[in-house]
């Protein structure tokens, strides 16, 4: 149950997509003075060393964020510039040694009146997360729970300020995660209809992965809420079946994730325009074969 470790994948193309969208979303939501609550249902360890054994074994950051860093900054789309500037704030000099996960990216954009609630069930990552967060001296602004985020989020909705962002990006290592994501979003919308919900998911050769965005569209439509769906494909998925049979002990044999998506409900209206220029550049810079592509659609 606890074999997945994001340290192998930090800074890969999926992180580029997820965190570019997260930053664009938070930049808009923090424009209002009212306090914002950010809930991260699967927070991970928070910080990852790109010069450590895990990252060096997989080399996924080389095919991901490093390609953006190798591009002249002024040639990047504004959303990608914002992404790299956030990463730079966690590093000294021009070399990217530390990759911030979603909790630290969110924290860097939040204000004194805002709060974060972080859930992480993996025992090792939860302890590491607590240690990393302690460096921030966050006081009561950040609460960490070694708990199942799918159920833990229920007690936090709606937040006192009635303004919130819920980020849900489980590993999907367990097949039932796909259904649990949809169930969580359905329950959350009933509790807090005006919240913004951001769901990351892998696009792999599994029917559940293709059904999830359709389920989320249906939930948003039935609730009368707007939605935004962005996907990034960097290569063919023909080798994905081999990836599904690999183990953590043999990460070098994994062909890597071919594509992923971000689905937002109640998205800030500014995010779509930012992605219109950022996604084509992601395809150009991160694409690994002729199958590289993106999609961007919205509704309501």
pLDDT at 2 over 50: no
Q: What pTM did the predictor assign?
A: 0.92
How confident is the model at residue 139, as a pLDDT?
67
Least confident of 128-137, 214-223, 240-249: 240-249
Annotated binding site: 19, 42, 102, 120, 148-149, 169
15-181-276-13 Cα dihedral, nearest 10 degrees: 20
How confident is the model at residue 53, as a pLDDT?
54
Return the CATH number at 247.
3.40.50.150
Number of domains forming the structure of the chain: 1
Each residue of 196-235: b (16+ CB within 10 Å) or e? bbbbbbbbbebebbeebbebbbebbeebebbbbbbbbbbb
For residue 1, tell me if it sits in a domain: no
Annotated binding site for S-adenosyl-L-methionine: 19, 42, 102, 120, 148-149, 169
Span 55-61, average pLDDT: 66
Supply the mean pLDDT for the chain.
91
Rg (CA), the chain: 18
How confident is the model at residue 7, as a pLDDT?
72
For residue 38, tell me if it sits in a domain: yes
Percentage of the chain exceeding pLDDT 70: 89
How confident is the model at residue 80, as a pLDDT?
98
Instruction: Of 86, 64, 67, give the one whose Cα is nearest residue 12.
Output: 64
For residue 34, tell me if it sits in a domain: yes
For residue 142, tell me if it sits in a domain: yes
How confident is the model at residue 298, as a pLDDT?
98
Span 251-262, average pLDDT: 77
pLDDT at 240 over 70: no
Handedness of CA 127, 47, 267, 298 (dihedral sign): negative
Q: What is the set of active-site residues?
A: 169
Percentage of the chain exceeding pLDDT 90: 83
pLDDT at 250 over 60: no
pLDDT at 255 over 70: no
pLDDT at 64 over 70: yes
Find the domain containing 250 and state its range: 6-299
For residue 137, tell me if it sits in a domain: yes
């Amino acid at each position: 149950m606890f074999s997945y470790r994001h340290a192998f994948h930090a800074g890969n193309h999926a992180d580029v997509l997820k965190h570019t969208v997260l930053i664009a979303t938070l930049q808009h939501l923090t424009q209002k003075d009212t306090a914002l609550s950010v809930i991260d249902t699967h927070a991970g360890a928070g910080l990852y060393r790109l010069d450590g054994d895990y990252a060096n074994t997989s080399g996924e950051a080389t095919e991901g964020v490093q390609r953006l860093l190798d591009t002249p900054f002024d040639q990047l789309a504004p959303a990608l510039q914002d992404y790299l500037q956030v990463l730079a704030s966690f590093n000294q000099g021009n070399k990217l040694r530390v990759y911030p996960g979603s909790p630290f990216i969110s924290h860097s954009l939040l204000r004194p009146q805002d709060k974060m609630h972080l859930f992480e069930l993996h025992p090792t990552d939860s302890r590491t997360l607590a240690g990393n967060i302690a460096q921030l001296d966050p006081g009561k602004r950040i609460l960490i729970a070694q708990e199942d985020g799918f159920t833990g989020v229920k007690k936090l909705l709606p937040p006192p300020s009635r303004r919130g962002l819920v980020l849900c990006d489980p590993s999907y290592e367990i097949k039932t995660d796909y259904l649990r994501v949809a169930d969580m979003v359905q329950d959350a919308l009933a509790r807090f209809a005006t919240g913004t919900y951001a769901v990351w998911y892998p696009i792999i050769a599994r029917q559940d992965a293709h059904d999830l965005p359709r389920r989320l569209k249906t939930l948003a439509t039935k609730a009368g809420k707007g939605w935004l769906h962005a996907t990034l494909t960097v290569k063919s998925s023909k080798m994905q079946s081999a990836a599904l049979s690999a183990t953590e002990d043999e990460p070098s044999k994994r062909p890597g994730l071919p594509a992923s998506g971000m689905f937002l409900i109640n998205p800030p209206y500014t995010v779509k325009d930012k992605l219109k220029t950022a996604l084509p550049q992601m395809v150009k810079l991160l694409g690994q074969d002729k199958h590289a592509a993106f999609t961007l659609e919205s509704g309501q």
